[in-house]
Amino acid sequence: MSSSAVNQRHHSPHHATANNSPADDEGIGDDDDYLLFSAEPDGWKSMTSSIKNHVHYGGRRYHRYRDGKYPFPNDMIEQGREYLKHDMITRVTEGRRFHAPIGSHPQKILDLGTGVGVWAIEGNKSLRQWPVASWD
């Protein structure tokens, strides 16, 4: 998407449609479980339904939260691109999940904005339950 298209999307809300049900996304429904790290005793809680409040523009789905702050879509096409990026980086780095000297028993790992979460999931498998908190 060109920068002019991004700017137009954010300055022309009459072209966008709000949708609380991402019906155009394959495999995602209203009853899917969404989790968010929280201060709850078990460390997890379900996200509110507002997380599914999206804007649809040009056949793509975008976040409604702080509309315009993140210019990329969050639909299944974009998630596929994120998986592809992860695979390319994994191949380029010969399977290394990190380059920091964290040792064999890391205490805490913070995953900030690393895409669809595959990095944290695969790292958790390779380091046997490493403690990861993820935010996007």
Asked if the model's pLDDT at residue 37 lies above 70, the reply is no
**Whole-angstrom distance, CA of residue 79 vs CA of residue 83:** 6
Q: How many CA atoms lie within 13 A of 126 on its CB side?
A: 11
Mean pLDDT of 57-64: 88
| Whole-number pLDDT of residue 128 | 65
| Whole-number pLDDT of residue 60 | 92
Mean pLDDT of 49-70: 80
| Whole-number pLDDT of residue 130 | 65
CA-based end-to-end distance of the chain:
21
> Quick one: pLDDT band at residue 87, thresholds 50, 70, 90?
very high
What angle, rounded to 10 degrees, do the helices at 76-92 and 118-126 form? 40
**Whole-angstrom distance, CA of residue 26 vs CA of residue 14:** 26
Average pLDDT, the chain: 67
Sign of CA dihedral 60, 61, 67, 72: negative
* Residue that has been written with the tokens 């669809």 in this structure: 116
| Whole-number pLDDT of residue 91 | 94
Who wins on pLDDT, 30 or 63? 63
Mean pLDDT of 35-59: 63
Mean pLDDT of 7-16: 41
User: Where are the chain's structural domains?
Assistant: 1-73, 75-136
